[in-house]
Amino acid sequence: MDILAAARKLEAEGRSIIHMEVGQPGAPAPALVLQAARQALESGRLGYTEAAGIQPLRKRISRHYLDTYGVDVPENRVMVTTGSSAGFNLAFLAAFDPGDRIVLTAPGYPAYRNIIRALGLVPVEIEVGPETRWSLTPELIEAARANGPVKGVLVASPANPTGTMMAPEALADLVRYCEEEGIWFISDEIYHGLVYEGQQATALSTSDTVILINSFSKYYCMTGWRIGWMILPECLMRPAERIAQSLYISPPELSQIAAMAAFDATAELELVKAGYAANRAMLLDRLPRIGFDRLLPVDGAFYVYADIGGFCDDSLGFTRAMLTEAGVAATPGADFDPVHGASFMRFSFAGATSDIAEALDRLGVWMQRRG
């Protein structure tokens, strides 16, 4: 966000800045979503809904899991949330008590640890690397338990910031381990649908005791609508619903109505995804030739996570210089990994293909100047 603020300031001064720092789609919400929202606005009053969301949307989400994964999820285990961020709050509050330890990966999405700490829980960040394909394993969790009990494990696949995805067998092994050990497994599947290599798998295929969190923000291009969902074990539905009533009352009715139409916008959304795939291919081809030749596997999402340790150990300073001198905004790795993040940076490729090409041209010239 600091890089974004600096980029906006430069733009206000008349500079041309290409944005590869923020993890949100460059495309607008699908036409069917906008049409549904307009009709809802014209129909009159919008108000509170059930805390768990309107029944038609919960039913449609349930059908999505049957259609996409062949998993039968009863609609009474579906909870609509005010974005995935609210989902994480509700999951942590419903499933854990103050002081409970929750395992995360490093690198990983920084809001996980921030929310966990804010709620009086303890994040246990485990460094992952190429030996486990940047993923958690039962062995890594078992080692963490030597330092204290682990009550939860949170996994994102595909992940932010890496874009790396767990193989279905590895994910299933991890879910089974947590189930056998009485550890809550929280599966962040917000980047499902945005997969370019490998096979995406939902944790629900292995167990119905997982806590699954997803959103309409990424694949469905509805970031600003603040609408997401959870799939919960039956024992957590009522606690989560009561907490949601107190914290949020309900998700926005307008966004819920619009979100139902998103499931019918696949043709438009797949065109957007094809643009991401073209951007990804361009980056994987040209970044190594520019000098960014140590990249993590980019299986899904819309990020490239680059190891710049070969020529820099200050990714914050590097990205600031890249912004001011080349006019390209990217994200330093420090937020994603407090220990090793200074040697990494993240490029988002969710923008227009023409912008990505221009960014690569600028970076090529800039890196040559740096020597």
Give the pLDDT confidence of 40-86 residue by residue, as tens digits. Answer: 999 888 999 999 999 999 999 999 999 999 999 999 999 999 999 99
Q: 287: which 2 tokens?
A: 């970044």
Per-residue burial over 263-297, b if 16 or more Cβ lie within 10 Å, else e, is: bebeebbeebbebbbebbebbeebbeebbbeebbb
pLDDT in tens, 74-97: 999 999 999 999 999 999 999 999
For 303, counting Cβ atoms within 10 Å of its Cβ (0-12 exposed, 13-18 middle, 19+ buried), the class is buried
In the structure, what pLDDT confidence band is assigned to residue 335 with cuts at 50, 70 and 90? confident
Enumerate domains of the chain plus CATH numbers: 2-23+267-366 (3.90.1150.10), 32-263 (3.40.640.10)
Give the pLDDT score at 320: 93
Q: 21: which 2 tokens?
A: 């720092």
Tell me the pLDDT of the chain averaged across its residues: 96
What's the mean pLDDT in 95-109? 97
What CA–CA distance (Å, rounded) separates 56 from 111?
A: 30
What global pTM score does this model have? 0.94
